[in-house]
Amino acid sequence: MFSQSAPEHDAETDEALFRIGWHVPWQSKILPYALAGIMAALWIFYDLFRNGMSDWGVSGRALAQGRFETIPLHMFAHAGIWHIVMNATALCGVSPPLIALMGRWPESWLRYLALFVASGLAGMAMYLAIHPLGTTPMLGASGAICGLLGLLIRLEASGAALVAVRSRKVWLAVKGLVQQNLVLIALITLPALLSGRAGGIAWEAHLGGFLFGLLVGPHLLSATPPMPLPEEE
């Protein structure tokens, strides 16, 4: 059970829990936008000239065959246009507020990349733990992005403190993510299974990445207090 700070909550109060109340400079957008652009360019190239990026996907079978390059590569590969569009949009939306709390450049970029890669690896580990002998390749930046989201969820509106794991904000975020994944499973995974095709939503990677960001991510934040937003007159 998750603890709640008050017995009654309205939609406006809950929405306020997720507001960003610290300054996000434009420089914080450079790295995530560049990453999104690189991922999009890679997908376009491989879709046009290499018949897709499935060889970059990681699986139990791929690792058993010694294809260890798929461990880092799977985070930068995508299965289709909607896959890359959704991930690029999420990456560009979630990342800048976090980078703004990770110190000055280049420290902020290094901290951000460490969280991105570690969350992606945590998502991969969860996927492989559930499918150790699986043959379906898992690819995409979703696990890494869920790690970024997990850390963002832990931050209070001011960005200067963390909310407890057993808090209403975390509970609402987890509830929303579960609902979102169930919808994606119904729209993508079930039709694939019913038609006899492999593939679908790697919810396992989403879970692993999110838990890493939620629990470990706070250690990658800078000790420097965030710059608050200017007050409205």
Q: pLDDT tens-digit profile of 89-101?
A: 999 999 999 999 9
199: left (phi over 0), alpha (psi -120 to 50) or beta: left
Which of 12-21, 151-160, 170-179 has maximum average pLDDT? 170-179
Q: What is the pLDDT of residue 11?
A: 66
pLDDT of 2 over the 70 cut: no
- The residue assigned the tokens 């794991």 is 165
The pTM assigned to this predicted structure is 0.89
Residue 80 has pLDDT above 60, yes or no: yes
Least Cα distance to 192 among 42, 95, 79 occurs for 79
Mind listing the pLDDT tens digit for each residue in 201-219?
899 999 999 999 999 999 9
Res. 12: pLDDT tops 80? no
Distances from the Cα of 109 to the Cαs of 87, 154, 159, 182, in angstroms?
19, 20, 18, 33
How would you label 130-140 residue by residue, b for 16+ Cβ within 10 Å and e otherwise?
Answer: ebeebebbbbb
Residue ranges and CATH numbers for the domains of the chain are 23-220 (1.20.1540.10)
Tell the burial category of 67 from Cβ atoms under 10 Å away from its Cβ (0-12, 13-18, 19+).
middle
**Across-strand partners of 58?**
138
pLDDT-derived band of residue 192, with 50, 70 and 90 as boundaries? confident
pLDDT for the residue numbered 17: 83
Instruction: Quick: pLDDT tens for 160-179.
Output: 889 999 999 999 999 999 99
Mean pLDDT, range 8-25, rounded to an integer? 79
- Mean pLDDT, rounded, for 122-137: 96
- 3 state DSSP class of 233: coil
Q: Look at 76-85, 116-125, 131-140, 179-188 and tell me which has the smallest mean pLDDT.
A: 179-188
Angle at 94 between CA 2 and CA 1, to 5 degrees: 5
* pLDDT over 80 at 7, yes or no: no
Q: Using an 8 Å Cβ cutoff, are 109 and 101 in contact?
A: no
- Residue partners of 127: CB distance under 8 A and separation at least 6: 58, 134, 138, 143, 202, 204, 205, 208
| pLDDT above 70: residue 83 | yes
Query: Is it the case that residue 225 has pLDDT exceeding 70?
Result: no
pLDDT digits (tens, 9 = 90+) for 58-73: 999 999 999 999 999 9
Exposed/middle/buried for residue 108 (C-beta within 10 Å: 0-12, 13-18, 19+): buried
Tell me, what's the pLDDT at 214? 97
DSSP at 140? S
Q: How far, in Å, are 158, 170, 195, 221 from residue 3 at the CA level? A: 21, 10, 43, 25
Q: What stretches of 100-202 show up as alpha helix (H) in DSSP?
A: 107-130, 142-153, 168-184, 190-194
pLDDT of residue 233: 46
pLDDT of residue 193: 75
Residue 159: per-residue pLDDT:
84
